[in-house]
């Protein structure tokens, strides 16, 4: 039976000229052979003729701009690859854990250092305060001397008679002894008008008190000067008045 064809389109004959190679040293012209090459229309459907039974095969169009997709055919991994993959996952987890521990350790270490510095600063501050407190010297209390009071018992007297009246020195000595004075000696002196009192430098502090006490019996007594240090602390020379 003759073969059946379907949707078969005639192909136009196209004459293509082949390039003639340049051949040097040829004097005669070269004859160009003609060859007929069929042209194919891309929009036409390709028909394949089958002697036993004609069937049409439709060739799908190809999109040149489409993205190439690679299908995973699921090649099974070998035990070694599986073990390496598991080890890699384990190592990644361990690395993350180590990183977390390192960060936590660094933070704790920094906190310990800061706390140590604060403790040292506080300790030095307290130590400085204590040293300053200890260095402050408490001023010694000012001792105010107790003022010395006049006392007749602290004087030793020498009484001389310059009044010209017999026994005037003896009578005066008895009066002074009665008031607490110590009369060492009684004697005579040249006649003077007014009673004179001489006091040693050690007893000048009580000069006024002594003179006032003597004037109770000898109203005309006056301070005449300092007495050289000797066996008595004051000398009284009784005058006429």
How far apart are alpha carbons 177 and 179 in whole angstroms? 5
How much is the CA Rg of the chain, to the nearest whole Å?
A: 76
| CA quadruple 91, 96, 101, 104: dihedral, nearest 10 | 170
Contact predicate 191/162, CB 8 Å: yes
pLDDT at residue number 9: 45
Phi and psi at residue 224, to the nearest 5°: -105, -20
Contact predicate 13/36, CB 8 Å: yes
Q: What is the pLDDT of residues 30-41, one digit of tens each?
A: 444 555 556 656
For residues 190 and 145, the model is more confident at 190
Residue 32: other Cβ atoms inside 10 A: 10
pLDDT at residue number 1: 46
How far apart are alpha carbons 121 and 114 in whole angstroms? 11
Residue 181: other Cβ atoms inside 10 A: 24
Following DSSP, what letter does each residue of 60-116 receive, concatenated?
Answer: PP--TTSPP------PPPPHHHHHHHHHHHHHHHHHHHHHHHHHHHHHHHHHHHHHH
Domains of the chain: 152-238 (3.30.70.2390)
Cβ-count burial 208-230 (b if 16+ within 10 Å, e if not):
eebbebbeebbeebeebeebeee
How far apart are alpha carbons 179 and 111 in whole angstroms? 90
Q: What is the pLDDT of residues 54-113, one digit of tens each?
A: 445 555 566 666 665 555 555 565 667 666 676 776 777 777 888 888 898 899 888 999
The pLDDT mean for the chain works out to 75
For residues 224 and 72, the model is more confident at 224
How far apart are alpha carbons 235 and 196 in whole angstroms? 8
């Amino acid at each position: 039976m003759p073969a059946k064809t379907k949707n078969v389109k005639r192909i136009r004959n196209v004459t293509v000229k082949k390039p003639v190679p340049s051949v040097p040293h040829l004097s005669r012209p070269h004859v160009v052979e003609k060859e007929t090459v069929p042209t194919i229309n891309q929009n036409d459907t390709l028909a394949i003729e089958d002697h036993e039974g004609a069937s049409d095969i439709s060739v799908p169009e190809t999109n040149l701009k489409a993205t190439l997709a690679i299908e995973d055919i699921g090649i099974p991994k070998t035990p070694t690859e599986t073990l390496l993959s598991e080890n890699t996952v384990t190592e990644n987890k361990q690395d993350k854990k180590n990183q977390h521990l390192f960060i936590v350790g660094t933070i704790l270490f920094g906190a310990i250092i800061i706390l140590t510095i604060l403790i040292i600063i506080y300790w030095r501050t307290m130590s400085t305060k204590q040293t300053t407190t200890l260095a402050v010297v408490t001023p010694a209390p000012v001792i105010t001397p107790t003022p010395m009071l006049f006392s007749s018992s602290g004087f030793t007297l020498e009484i001389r008679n310059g009044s010209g009246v017999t026994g005037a020195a003896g009578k005066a000595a008895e009066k002074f002894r009665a008031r607490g004075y110590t009369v060492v000696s009684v004697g005579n002196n040249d006649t003077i008008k007014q009673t004179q009192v001489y006091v040693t430098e050690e007893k000048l502090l009580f000069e006024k008190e002594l003179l006032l006490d003597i004037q109770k019996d000898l109203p005309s007594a006056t301070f005449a000067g300092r007495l050289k240090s000797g066996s008595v602390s004051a000398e009284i020379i009784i005058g006429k008045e």
